[in-house]
Amino acid sequence: MFFYLKLAFLLSVISLMGCSGTSEQKKDVVQQSYVLSGDWKFNTFLGDGSNYRDISPTDKDIIIDNTDTDLVELNGDWKIGKEGARGSRQWGNSHVYHWSKNNDHSHNAKYYFPENLAAGYYEHFIYYPFGFGLHNTFAVKHSGGLTKHDINQRNRDGQWVSLGIYHIDAHKKHYVSAAPSSKSQVIIDAVMLRPIDEKAYLQAEKNKASAPLITVDDSTWYDLKVPGHWGMINKYSTYTGKGWYRKHFELPNDWQIKKNEKLRLHFEGVYHFATVYLNGEYVGSHQGGFTPFEIDITDAVNTKGNNILAVQADNSPMVGATWNWGGIIRDVSLVKTQDARVTYQYIHAEPDLKKGTAALTIKVRIENVSSDNRTFNFSGDISYAGEQAVLTNLHSQVEVAANSIKEFELTSALSKEQVKLWHFDRPNLYHLTSRISENDKVVHTKKDRFGIRKIELTETQMLLNGDPVRIGGYNRVSDHRYWGSSEPYELLAKDVELMKNAGANFMRIMHGTQNKKLIELCDEKGILLFEEINVRELNNPEIVAPDYLITKQWAKEMVVRDINHPSIIGWSVGNELSHHYQYVETMVKYVKEELDPHRLVTNVSNTGYYKNDTAENDPLGLSDLMMQNIYQKDPEKVITTIAERWPNRPLFVSEYGLERFENASLDNDYPNFNSWHEMLRGRNTHVVGTSIWSFNDYRSAYAQTLEEENRSWGIVNAWRQKRRGYATLQKGLSPVKDFELTQIDLNSGQAHVEFMVRGAKDYPSYRMQGYQLSWQLLDAKGEVLAEHHKDLPLLTPSSGRWSDTIHWSADVTKQVSQLAVKLLSTNGFTRYTYTHDFTLPKQAEIENLLTGVDDSGNQKVRVFIGDQKPGTQYFAKLTQQNGQIYKSKTTIDPYIELDLPNNAGDASVVLVAINGAGEGKPSRPARVKASKQLLPPVIWHSMIRDQKFILGFDGKIDDKSYRLRYGESADKLDKISTTSGRGMIVADLADGQKTVYYQLQRTTGKTNSSWTPVQTHSLLAK
């Protein structure tokens, strides 16, 4: 049985992008865009949200614990728990929980308030250890009625979570209740009431009401970049709730607003709820944090003066284990068009692989918002991306009724000479440039990029342009510890480069609609993708059966924006759902029939293999390409069970977690990687690909997350530093194996290279056309002395072993320290790397030394390695006064920590660098003097962006806050920045400041740590 996907592509959204404060208009372009990203004002108001890291009980707070039996009413089968699950904390010595079998809200726990509680305003908090319920209902009974909250109890466990501020009457039965919202566990431990000053609260309510008004003075508000998120401000590191943005702007001087023109605000993404005001008037709203939306503001904008754009963002929904980065996370622009435009164009290119030609079909929608019936001449030019020459033109005369949208299709073809297929190694791209004209005047233009390629599924294979491929990649979480999910281009470009060089060709990218710039990079660099809407739990109160209107909205917004991208070969309607047959059936049908009939549609599953799962009750088989997440100890059993229940169907492993690391060390690796993949090599060949969880570490409030709030799964950490696992996966996802470099003769300038091409039943496996072998000679500093390339013949899965001799000039051999050989793809990405060191590393240097005690009171010595490059890894040796030697593990971390025995006496430590040739000379010994002061945080990364200094560091469970002191010289650290947030701190720099000297300290509430040694970060450094 065959499933076909025949593709091609289009879409961008804005024909012309200007710069902030400027606009452009070419002769032929009648759409203008004014960028509103950049500097905005930001503020929050009392009662709209809270930072859970800042909440600690005081003497004025009232706490009702589950042991206060006179105030706690348990209805139904509630049990007492003595320990928090998954290592989570509880308040006191116990908590209560209930497992719901039928989602019965009458099985609830009510925490009544003391009868002598004074009337007034109180902020209400709940405390709970880890619970399995993703969506449970917590309700507050207050003077104004009953207010319900949806709480994900896998997040923020062991913290005081705010439910908001409410008025309480004296001598009334007010309470906080907990009830299940799904067939899962609901858990509650304690409730806290914090008295709130009535005047302060009422003033905050007035301030909120006036936040969008023109008359408000926002000069004292925080400065915040857009795109961005409010966690970039230390005070809002863990803030969940509502936040306000304001932007002052005037229309560009060259914009002449005519009667037949429209102005629209275009938002690429606001997480999660957005309410938009212009000049004090409500103009629109949007629900869903990762998809774009637009608002017509033609009648609300001031065309001759200042405008105030205000946006209220609300990040209250917490979905799964990822962070709820709040705010305007993607670009904002103002777009001006005439009252008719091309709103949508989809180009489907169907290649004839035998003839080499391609049939083109474009579907176009023209919107006419005027009150007149109109006739337009449509013209669509096809060209190679970046070139002007027109390959073919599609044209038609189109009648569009007043206040309506007209959809039509046109066809054309490209000859064999004009067709360049898109492939992950050869990502050839085209442009479709469309124009609509009226009375010989251009009314609107739209330009989109697309590619020509063909995806087919057989019973056991996936074919790309007719060739069988077994390929893999990563789940990349849309997350960076500073940029969050706002992700500037520099981060996206770096990540795509890192992933491609680590073997990525095919990825289920993540559960959530992606930044469009990432998709564009995947088009350009060559990564096949499945893109997904952010649906991870059907009990989410946003999602309502049987119509699923909100998920259809998200799917439509995603597909309409991204339908022309050649990198996207399919859409996913959700991740790891339960009781979801009707949902998947409805959504798959909707996407195929209403949005995109040509791409694959799937649902990412973690069911289908359970004892009672069948093709009749589990929707796994409704997917064109079945996708399965596998974290089980016996993954092959999952694969074979699914194959038995859905025979003759290809399968893609959309997630598999090799290991969640217990610390942030760069030494973390995947020792079971090759054994996991062996089940795909020579057997289970219907598995056409895999996507590892995950490429990067990501911030999370989920249980068992590291104390610096980073969930540690990645081959790179949250700051994009490579772990040992990066090299492991780079080799494991290579299309070649058994790579050998032998007969190396430096003086005669030659070596023998040999490798085995992976066969058709191996994994991964694909044709290598236009590949190169590259070899570099490097000196001890890593500088390239000479570089050579060799074109390789076509290598196919049946090619077997390949070998040849490489040569280099002998005139550089005296300076050579290393030979680096790489297998490069057609588009220049590393497919395998092999290095040979000729010389031992130079003597290492200890950058700094620090002694102290850890949180358990153990004496430690911390050796700082820094950025030196004499070796690829390091170890340290501690020598006691009595001659006893302690040796550390070998590491690629920027520091080494050793135990310091109590009787170490006059001890010393040395640092040793290692490379492939062996150990270098030990550093000069450094004397060690014991200290009883608490050790400071470990610093992982520093950077300067937008006149902000950003520092990434680790965290400990008892840390309460962190203090950064910094300045423009080492002897004048005269500025202070503090945060209660874990893992990152941000500091303001003076205008033009390019160098920062700094130290970091932590406090546990009981004591302060020592300061880290003074370090420096400079934009002026090479």
Tens of pLDDT along 814-867? 889 999 999 999 999 999 999 999 999 999 999 999 999 999 999 999 999 977
Cα separation, 570 vs 599, in Å, equals: 5
What number of helices (H) and strands (E) belong to the chain?
8, 66
Angstrom distances, CA of residue 902 to CA of 277, 850, 859: 65, 16, 7
Cα separation, 924 vs 912, in Å, equals: 10
Beta strand pairing status for 818-824 and 830-837?
antiparallel
Percent of the chain scoring above 90 in pLDDT: 88
CA torsion, points 723, 726, 729, 730, in degrees to nearest 10?
A: -160
- The residue among 390, 342, 384 whose CA lies nearest residue 363 is 342
Amino acid letter for position 661:
F
Q: Tell me the mean pLDDT in the region 69-91.
A: 94
- 16-30, 814-828, 930-944: which range is least confident on average? 16-30
Computed on alpha carbons and rounded to an integer, the radius of gyration of the chain in Å comes to: 30
Amino acid letter for position 5:
L
Cα separation, 214 vs 308, in Å, equals: 6
- The set of residues, in sequence order, having a beta carbon less than 8 Å from that of 683 and lying 6+ positions away, is 761
Cα separation, 1018 vs 819, in Å, equals: 31
pLDDT over 70 at 890, yes or no: yes
- The residue among 539, 711, 613 whose CA lies nearest residue 185 is 539
Query: What was the pLDDT predicted at 479?
Result: 96
Query: What was the pLDDT predicted at 5?
Result: 34
Q: Is residue 11 within 8 Å of residue 568, measured between CB atoms?
A: no
pLDDT band at 811 (very low <50, low <70, confident <90, very high): confident
Q: Is residue 378 within 8 Å of residue 397, measured between CB atoms?
A: yes
Tens of pLDDT along 643-689? 999 999 999 999 998 888 999 999 999 988 888 899 999 999 999 99
Q: Tell me the mean pLDDT in the region 316-325.
A: 86
Angstrom distances, CA of residue 31 to CA of 209, 446, 572: 35, 9, 33
Q: What's the angle, vertex CA 1011, arms to CA 1006 and CA 1015, rounded to 5?
A: 155
- The set of residues, in sequence order, having a beta carbon less than 8 Å from that of 998 and lying 6+ positions away, is 942, 949, 951, 964, 965, 966, 967, 973, 987, 1014, 1015, 1016, 1017
Q: Tell me the mean pLDDT in the region 790-802.
A: 97
147 forms beta bridges with 140
DSSP secondary structure string, 827-841? TS-EEEEEEEE-SPP
Which H or E element spans position 494?
Answer: helix 489-501
Q: Is residue 596 within 8 Å of residue 563, measured between CB atoms?
A: yes
- The residue among 457, 455, 478, 473 whose CA lies nearest residue 465 is 455
Query: What was the pLDDT predicted at 979?
Result: 97
- The residue among 542, 548, 476, 872 whose CA lies nearest residue 713 is 476
pLDDT band at 766 (very low <50, low <70, confident <90, very high): very high
**Structure-token pair, residue 497:** 């480069």
Q: What are phi and psi of 1002, to 5 degrees?
A: -125, 155
pLDDT over 70 at 14, yes or no: no
Query: What was the pLDDT predicted at 658?
Result: 81
**Structure-token pair, residue 789:** 């390339």
Query: What was the pLDDT predicted at 29?
Result: 47
User: What is the SS3 assignment for 555?
Assistant: helix
**Structure-token pair, residue 798:** 């049946």
Structure-model confidence comparison of residues 431 and 813, the more confident one:
431
Structure-model confidence comparison of residues 13 and 616, the more confident one:
616
pLDDT band at 200 (very low <50, low <70, confident <90, very high): very high
Q: Tell me the mean pLDDT in the region 907-916.
A: 95
User: What is the SS3 assignment for 519?
Assistant: helix
768 forms beta bridges with 795
Cα separation, 233 vs 987, in Å, equals: 9
Query: What was the pLDDT predicted at 19?
Result: 33
Tens of pLDDT along 487-509? 999 999 999 999 999 999 999 99
- The set of residues, in sequence order, having a beta carbon less than 8 Å from that of 970 and lying 6+ positions away, is 997, 1014, 1016
Which H or E element spans position 440?
Answer: none
Cα separation, 457 vs 569, in Å, equals: 12
Q: What's the angle, vertex CA 118, arms to CA 112 and CA 119, rounded to 5?
A: 90
pLDDT over 80 at 102, yes or no: no
830 forms beta bridges with 824
pLDDT over 50 at 50, yes or no: yes
Indicate the average pLDDT of the chain.
Answer: 93
Please, is 994 exposed, middle or buried when counting C-beta atoms within 10 Å of its C-beta (0-12, 13-18, 19+)? middle
Cα separation, 9 vs 560, in Å, equals: 11
Q: Which residue has the tokens 């229940």?
A: 645
Q: Is residue 657 within 8 Å of residue 631, measured between CB atoms?
A: yes
| pTM of the shown model | 0.94
Beta strand pairing status for 79-81 and 160-168?
unpaired
User: What is the SS3 assignment for 416?
Assistant: helix
Q: Tell me the mean pLDDT in the region 745-770.
A: 96
- Find how far residue 856's CA is from the centre of its chain: 34
Query: What was the pLDDT predicted at 4?
Result: 32
Query: What was the pLDDT predicted at 3?
Result: 34
Please, is 798 exposed, middle or buried when counting C-beta atoms within 10 Å of its C-beta (0-12, 13-18, 19+)? exposed
Q: Is residue 625 within 8 Å of residue 647, measured between CB atoms?
A: no
**Structure-token pair, residue 814:** 């005296």
Cα separation, 112 vs 335, in Å, equals: 53
Residue 765 DSSP one-character state: B
Beta strand pairing status for 506-508 and 528-532?
parallel
- The set of residues, in sequence order, having a beta carbon less than 8 Å from that of 176 and lying 6+ positions away, is 110, 111, 124, 126, 138, 139, 140, 141, 163, 191
Query: What was the pLDDT predicted at 28?
Result: 43
Return the beta strands (E) in 746-783 as ranges. 750-757, 772-778
User: What is the SS3 assignment for 394?
Assistant: strand
Cis upstream peptide for 272 (omega within 30°): yes
Q: Tell me the mean pLDDT in the region 68-82.
A: 95
Which H or E element spans position 582?
Answer: helix 581-590
Beta strand pairing status for 600-605 and 568-575?
parallel
3-state SS string for 195-262 = EECHHHHHHHHHHHHHCCCCCCCCCCCEEEEECCCHHHCHHHCCEEEEEEEEEEECCCCCCCCCCCEE
- Find how far residue 440's CA is from the centre of its chain: 47
Query: What was the pLDDT predicted at 1021?
Result: 64
Q: Tell me the mean pLDDT in the region 67-76.
A: 96
Cα separation, 534 vs 801, in Å, equals: 45
Q: Is residue 820 within 8 Å of residue 783, measured between CB atoms?
A: no
Q: Tell me the mean pLDDT in the region 595-619.
A: 96
